[in-house]
Chain A
Amino acid sequence: MKIPNRLVVFAAAVAVSLAAVAATDISGAGATFPYPIYAKWADAYKKLTGIGLNYQSIGSGGGIKQIKAKTVTFGASDMPLKPDDLKAAGLLQFPMIIGGVVPVVNVKGIQAGQLHLDGATVASIYLGDITQWDAPQIKRLNPKLALPSTAIAPVYRSDGSGTNFLFSDYLSKASPKFQSSIGANTSVQWPTGIGAKGNEGVANMTTQTDGAIGYVEYAYAKQNKMAYTLLTNKAGAAVAPSAESFQAAAANADWVHADSYYLILTDQAGAKSWPITGASFILVYKQPGDPAPVNEAMKFFAWAYKDGASMAAELDYVPLPPPLIAQVKKSWVSEITSGGHPVWSGK
């Protein structure tokens, strides 16, 4: 039987495609919190070196799962893993960038930075105790604002998320009822509201639904011109989200004494501190089976620490302070090894 020539040519093309060697791309997965800045960095790094960062923004829970399953080179999580979990999994954790989670609202007539809320009120909204925008608790904090009687539609993260962890941690600290009935974690049982996937999903759903309130990383609120709110911090002052207020919260952090960099930055003291600040962490194996991609990843991170700082500032993320970067790099050299030698080829 004659085999059509076209078939032969096609089979050859497939074989060539199979053998095609692409440039070694770094693969990572996890938090959506830092995704806007990771994506910007990846774009710039690719233009510089030709190496791409394939980052799946699937939520901190997904990032932890993928790195534990060894399907990616690094995982990203906004909830720091506890030192025991890290030891058991053989992972090294280090902070990459600092940012803030901000409540955003979609209420007719309310612009960005106009609405003022506090932790207890937000907790009550998400508990389902406050159901309308003109409720007395909200009116009390905003005497000069015209609040409609629209029903409140709380939007929460339906996926395993570090942003979720930061937000629920803050609400647990602000409201004992929230602490006891819901608690703080990457995924919690929200008693009411709509679930959406990723910071992107929450931003989208909040923009789509009248009367919605959601919580997203500040870059999402800024990039999509959403109406973020002011919050009352621990010192009792009403503060707006900005690189400045995130930095104020991070200033008190004692990284030197934090075991495996485990530090939670919510509800920090300081008149200018933003109450829902958090660091986003990277997870890599201490003794990777294949050191080459890990080395590429470390080179990317080192570049991001140095040359990526200005891009981060544009999106109101807070780059790590230099002493912390030096401390992290020391950890890379001493902890990430293969055959006794450090994997990272830099210094």
Chain B
Amino acid sequence: MNRRALRKAKNSAFLVLSLIATMTGLACLAAILWTLLSHGLAGMSWRLFAEMTPPPGSRGGLLNALYGSGVMTLLGILIGSPIGVLAGTYLAEYGRNSRLSTVIRFINDVLLSAPSIIIGLFVYEIVVVRMGHFSAIAGALALAILAIPVTLRTTEDMLNLVPIGMKDSSAALGAYPWRTTLSVLYPAARSGIVTGLLLAIARISGETAPLLFTALNNQFWSTQLNAPMANLPVVIFQFALSPYKDWQDLAWAGALIITATILILSISARVILAMLQSERGSGR
């Protein structure tokens, strides 16, 4: 085979391999979603949203787990996203080029990828041990710490995207940066910041490890924030590893609910971002 043919063959070979790689990746996604759908739908029923987690051998639902996850995710976002947004605002508005900002950006990116189990251990040490027991508030704090890096990054990026002309005109009118930020920048970057919130919610609703030793779990309905609270990921963990068919069905149903929620949130975030980019692109 002459050199040219060899090069062509090599080219085809690698391109075919890359196609195979893509197909494999898509096949894995399809396999996982298929398993989730088939097992999860089998476990779905109105009961899921009306009854509590049952003892082994009885049928029941996931109401307390759904409530617990909802409450802790909400609290986590309420606590974490203001901090993330404010910190992102600082990095975008006040500390653009300072040494401190560079360090903070760097540390933030590290926290973004840090193993969540470490955050769980951290909150265990400073909250659970001090309080003497597991609690929903400890779980919410762990989730808040996980939400901060996501919201910080998105807020800073979004604020930086606002046309500098808007900031300058506001300053020319005599407004302090706080006024500019609140009245001009936040509204302009609104959808971007909301995207950050959606991404943060998507990130923290699927986390199991940080909740394992902060909120623990609770068989029953509990609204007390300073007591262990049921949550979907830990319930899935416990039920999936059990030998009881009812529990395993609930685990799959719960897994489907979590995945569906996260996928919807992620897709919404992307749609908003896409709309945002096309807005910008159309010469505003």
Interface residues of A (CB under 8 A from B): 1, 17-18, 20, 22, 25, 35-36, 39-40, 42-43, 46, 52, 54-56, 69-71, 196-198, 200-201, 203-204, 207, 220, 223-224, 226
Contact = CB atoms under 8 A, between A and B. Distances in A.
Nearest to A104: B243
A43 B58 contact: yes
Given A54-B228, A204-B241, A22 B223 contact: yes
Nearest to A70: B132
B225 interface: yes
Contacts of B54: 43
B181 interface: no
B98 interface: no
Interface in B221-261: 221-225, 227-228, 238, 241-244
* 3 shortest interchain CB distances as A-B pairs: A39-B55, A203-B243, A200-B242
B218 interface: yes
B197 to A, nearest CB: 15
- B interface, size bucket: 20 to 34
A204 B224 contact: no
26 contacts: A17-B71, A17-B223, A17-B225, A22-B221, A22-B223, A22-B224, A22-B227, A25-B222, A42-B55, A43-B54, A43-B55, A43-B58, A52-B219, A54-B218, A54-B219, A56-B216, A56-B217, A56-B228, A70-B132, A197-B241, A198-B241, A200-B244, A223-B56, A223-B243, A224-B243, A226-B243
A55 B228 CA distance: 11
B90 interface: no
B133 interface: yes
Contacts of A20: 223-224
Instruction: Among B55, B216, B221, B238, find the residue whose CB has the most chain A CB atoms closer than 10 A.
Output: B55
B56 A39 contact: yes
Nearest to A18: B225
A46 B221 CA distance: 12
A159 B132 CA distance: 23
B244 A40 contact: no
A54 B222 CA distance: 10
A220 B244 CA distance: 9
Contacts of A56: 216-217, 228
A20 B227 CA distance: 12
